[in-house]
Each structure stands twice: as structure tokens, then as C-alpha cells.
Amino acid sequence: MLIPNLEELTRNGAGGVPPRQEISLDSLPFPPFEMRELVGPTDLSAFDNPSRKLAYDYLDPAVYEKVFDFGCGCGRVARQMMLQNPSPKMYVGIDLHPGMIRWCQRNLQPVAPNFTFFHHDVYHVRFNPVPGKPLTATFPVEDGQFTLVNALSVFTHLTQEHAVFYLRECARVLHPDGVLHASWFFFDKREYPMMQEHDAALYVSYVDPGAAVIFDRNWVVAKAREMGLRVCKVVPPFIRGHQWAVIMTRREDVEEAEFPPDTAPRGWARPPMGSRPDSASIGMEPDS
């Protein structure tokens, strides 16, 4: 099933695009601690936006019109974008964790019905461990409609095969003038002569390959080009070796961006463990 596009939503009044009034800060609940723990930062400030600034100040404000948030978790970015000024006209978030999506549908969507959340029902060893589920699935949206496709801390958890699949999906749903904003861990494969020709990813855990995945930077750039994407902006990590924000576009008239050196201070920023035995059922408790 495809999710209706913005024009259909407006025409049908289905879900309804509400008047563009500001959402008050206290009308938006915060996700519970155990969900924040699943996605990383637990501090409430990481989910908030009291100054109503754009979620990413280095992106053109125009790209926030129609947002697709791949791996939206418990609505960290959605919540910030609901509060930002101007707020997106349309936002679609998908995640494979059923409880986090349910929480977003029940707690965020009613406040801003132009923000919708869908369960991307693919297998995940910790978050959706249901035997028989597909390992990947196409995004439930039409081609070329999103001016911003966001994937914050998502490719950093995908295996090489899945990263290829979802990079292609991101390119497919991206508007010709839109941008893909995704974060990545990078290494330079030329420094690892023992790696096979087809291998482009390093996995920090052999128990859970998706715990943290580091990609050969040249491979990512080349794969993106194969899919009609080019790197147009790069934001280096805040901690040496941590996440790079890479902005890509389908436009051919923009100059390809260079990667600056990583001169950030050294430190630790460990990814979420999500190793609680009940990780998959958080947020799926029966209604009392």
C-alpha cells in the first residue's frame, strides 16, 4: 500500500493538512526513557527544539517542505521538526520497531496530523525478531516526491547489502531538487589491504552486525553515483571518527563537494546497545 502524497492528502482532507500554526512546546509529549535508550541520546534536550530552529541549519530551508524520515525511531527528528519554524507541510516517518512507531502514532501524530508514521515491517534481530519477515522492503511511498530524505544514524546500522538496497530507495523517493541527508561512519579501504574486492564495510560486532557499521567512503560515493546521487555538502564529525553528515542530490548542475579532513577532538560516543531482552516489545504493552 502506498501512502498518499501531499496533493492527495490536501484534496481528500484525509489525515488533513492543518493550518500552519505553531505547535506549543508543552502539547508534545517526550518519548519514554526506555525508547530514547533504544535510539541513542536519552537527554530530553536531544528531542526538543525550544528555539524553533531548523533541524539542520546547514540545509536550505526550502528542502523541509516534504520530509521522509527513514528509521525515525521514537520521533526525535519528527518532534524537532514539528516545533521548527517553518515546519514541514508533510512528514512521513518509518521504522522497523513496532512500539516506537505506535508511540509516535499515538502521541505525535494527533498533534500534527500532517506528520504520519508507519511500521516498516522487516526482520531485525533485536527490534523486530519475527521469523519469516522480509529482510528488506521498498518504502511505501511514490517516486520522487520528498524534498528532504533524512536518515540519521541509520546507515550506521545497516549491512553492506542493506545499505545498497536502501540507498537506492532513498534515491527513488527523492524529488529531483531535493536532498538526501544521511549520517555515516567512514574508513578508507586503501588502508586495509586484506579486504576482498567486494567488501566495503567493517562490523564492530559479530553477534549483531548492525550494532555499528563503518563504510569505505569511496565506495559510498561511487555507489551513490551509480544511483544518480552526488555529494553536494559534507559536515565532518564532532568527535573524531564519529558520524559524518553527507548531503546528496540528484541534481547535476551542483558542484560535487570535497570531504574535509576530520580534525574533531577525540572522544567516545558509543552507539545504543539496545540489548535489553525486551527491546522488541517496548511500547507494545497491552492498553490498560
Enumerate binding residues for ligand SAM (CB under 6 A). Answer: 39-40, 71-73, 76-77, 94-97, 120, 122, 127, 152-154, 157-158, 272
CB of 97 to ligand SAM, least distance (A): 4
Cell of 273: 546497545
Please give the Cα distance from 14 to 47 (Å, whole number): 28
Q: Does the CA dihedral 42-239-92-131 come out positive or negative?
A: negative
Please answer whether residues 40 and 271 qualify as being in contact, where contact means their C-beta atoms are separated by less than 8 angstroms: yes
User: Which one, 95 or 216, has the nearer CB to ligand SAM?
Assistant: 95
- Least distance to ligand SAM, CB of residue 155, Å: 9
Nearer to ligand SAM, 122 or 234 (CB): 122
Contacts of 104 (CB under 8 A, 6+ apart): 31, 72, 74, 75, 78, 93, 117
Q: Is omega for the bond preceding 61 within 30 degrees of 0, making it cis?
A: no
Instruction: Name the residue nearer to ligand SAM (CB basis): 66 or 76.
Output: 76
Question: Shortest Cβ distance from residue 36 to ligand SAM (Å)?
Answer: 8
Q: How far is the CB of 262 from ligand SAM (least distance, A)?
A: 21
Nearer to ligand SAM, 4 or 31 (CB): 31
* Minimum distance of ligand SAM from residue 21's CB (angstroms): 26
Closest to ligand SAM by CB, 189 vs 283, is 283
CB of 175 to ligand SAM, least distance (A): 20
**Is 126 or 251 the residue whose CB approaches ligand SAM more closely?**
126
- Distance CA(138)–CA(143), nearest Å, equals 11
Q: Report the nearest approach of ligand SAM to the CB of residue 212 (Å).
A: 10
Q: How far is CA 128 from CA 131, 155, 226, 281, in A?
A: 9, 17, 31, 9
Q: Would you say 63 or 77 has its CB closer to ligand SAM?
A: 77
Return d(Cα 16, Cα 29) in angstroms, integer.
Answer: 21
How far are the Cα atoms of 20, 104, 133, 154 from residue 279, in angstroms, in the given order?
36, 17, 17, 17
